[in-house]
Amino acid sequence: MSLIKNVVTVGGWTLAYRLSSLARDIAQSAFLGAGMFADLFSTAFKFSQVLRKLFAEGAFNASFLPIFSDALKDKGQKEAEKIASQVLTWLVFLVSFITIICLIFFRHIISCYAPGVDTASEKFEHLVIMGRVCSPYIAASFLVALFTGVLNTINRYAMPAAVQLVLNICMIIALFMGALCFPSAAYTMAWAVFLGGVIQAVILWINVRVCGLNIGFNISAMTEEVKTFFKKLVSGAIGAGVWQLNVIIDFVVLSFLPTGAVSYFYYTDHLNQFPLGILGIAFSTALLPPLTKAIHAKDSHAAKKQMNLGLLFAFIFTLPAAVLFISLGEEITGAMYGRGNFGPEQVAAAAPALAAFAFGLPSYMMTKVLTTTFFAHKDTKTPLVGGIISIVTNLLFIVLLMPCMKHTGIALATSLSSWCNGIYLLFVLKRLGTVTIECNTVKECLKQIVISAVMLASIFLMNIYATPCLSDRFGAKIVLLIVAGVSVVVFCLAGKITKTFAFLAEMKDLEKEGK
């Protein structure tokens, strides 16, 4: 299947998911604002989301997909089904254990995750209850990750990407249902998280069965492939999920800040993730299978081309997004969240965090592509070391920036630590031998930076003439759309003149060679 077609398929559904996530956050900010219950739900939900992304997303796919793919190709469908069934069986035991531990000891767990919340306060009791309700979502996420990996291996990308919408639909419905018999609508949303996870797992399991794969429980002796999978899962979780590990640290520190800081961080982080969800993460998901196959076939030329073009493809979308978020942070934050219980004061407090997050957009995508490359080589050690470097630098930057910049300093520290991780991976890339950064790729990246600078200059020039219109709320949104639209056109025209988009033709040529 065409790589670009895979990117478009996954990216299209992921775009729909990101749009629904944005709608969910807009509704949440309007209903809950940036008050105590908004902070508490954001903390509880982020806890479950971080564990999902840490173990049941990138690291899981990177550990499971190569093993399942090799078995399907070399040993046939029956053996591949046996491996997947054993993974499923042991996962059920594992996630059941994790869920029980979370439910029983959640007071102790959450006191470590949010140490700034007084354990004797009513606020802490609300946090514990919402956290316990959200906890089973983690267990469902493991099953979703397993079925997603199976479907992606047989080139079924649409359903795993589309099923993400279920969670947001459940949460939006819960918001409009209101508090019901609970103290706040935040409780209703927590129950929606639990229900959404269960529905996602059931839908994907049915889809796997429809595709003709018989994956169920298998309690026979664990194969070597399954043992290898679980060994790689733990170490791979840190390397592939370093962003999530840093978010854990961020939320620990955020718990000590005044009410509203968690919400500001939460909303702007999700808005920053939007451009990544359009094509960035979709590309890394679609990149792993062909890259793994090229390396498995010892086709170093194809592997090197895939990675280099992957870097260019990632930067071409994240650079202009970073420019928009940094230069128009307050205008964008106001247009997205400035309504209901999220007023001008909250917008002004949240906007700097969006700009700080946006600074790390290109580095995050570079890290995703490079980490995918290392995992395709079955190398989990290098991303692990990069993850440790990122965690340490994140802590150092937080200590330096948080006292004077509050939640904005924490957001900036996360971005800076991501750059440290990406730069480290670039330096050790040559150890792989099969793939290297080509000189032409460096030149093309520099061209992308130049046209991004041209785009930034056009925004500043337009803002000079647009300022008088910004006092009117409706007029400000129209001006924002015009400024953002014109700046993107400037970016595209500059790219056309400098032939910055020529690499897209190379991607098509590479796909033709692989057919």
| Same domain for 76 and 62 | yes
| Same domain for 340 and 321 | yes
| Same domain for 501 and 373 | no
Domain ends where: 437, 472, 499? 437
Residue 11 has pLDDT above 80, yes or no: no
Q: What is the pLDDT of residue 288?
A: 57
| Same domain for 405 and 280 | yes
> Which structural domain range is residue 466 located in?
442-515
Number of domains the chain contains? 2
Of the given ranges (142-146, 238-242, 354-358), which has the lowest mean pLDDT? 238-242
| Same domain for 363 and 446 | no
The mean pLDDT value of the chain amounts to 83
With cut-offs at 50, 70 and 90, classify the pLDDT of residue 298. Answer: low
Q: What is the pTM of this model?
A: 0.82
Residue 447 CA: distances (Å) to CA of 281, 341, 423, 455, 494? 23, 43, 19, 12, 10
What gap in Å lies between CA 508 and CA 513, rounded to an integer?
A: 9
| Same domain for 373 and 352 | yes
Q: pLDDT tens for residues 206-236? A: 988 888 888 888 777 777 778 888 777 776 6
**Percentage of the chain exceeding pLDDT 70:** 84
- Average pLDDT rounded to a whole number, residues 456-466: 82
- Average pLDDT rounded to a whole number, residues 380-408: 90
| Same domain for 498 and 367 | no
Domain ends where: 380, 408, 437? 437
| Same domain for 406 and 477 | no
- Average pLDDT rounded to a whole number, residues 342-348: 91
Q: What is the pLDDT of residue 1?
A: 45
Q: pLDDT tens for residues 147-183? A: 888 887 777 777 887 888 999 999 999 999 988 889 9
Q: What is the pLDDT of residue 84?
A: 84
Q: pLDDT tens for residues 59-93? A: 677 777 778 877 887 778 788 888 888 888 888 88
- Per DSSP, the three-state class of 163 is coil
Q: pLDDT tens for residues 91-110? A: 888 888 878 887 888 899 89
Q: Which amino acid is at 492?
A: C
| Same domain for 379 and 501 | no
| Same domain for 355 and 503 | no
| Same domain for 321 and 354 | yes
- What's phi and psi for 260, nearest 5 deg? 110, -30
**Percentage of the chain exceeding pLDDT 90:** 32
Buried b (16+ CB within 10 A) or exposed e, 288-320: bbbbbbbbbeebeebbbbbbbbbbbbbbbbbbb
Domain ends where: 408, 437, 466? 437
| Same domain for 30 and 130 | yes
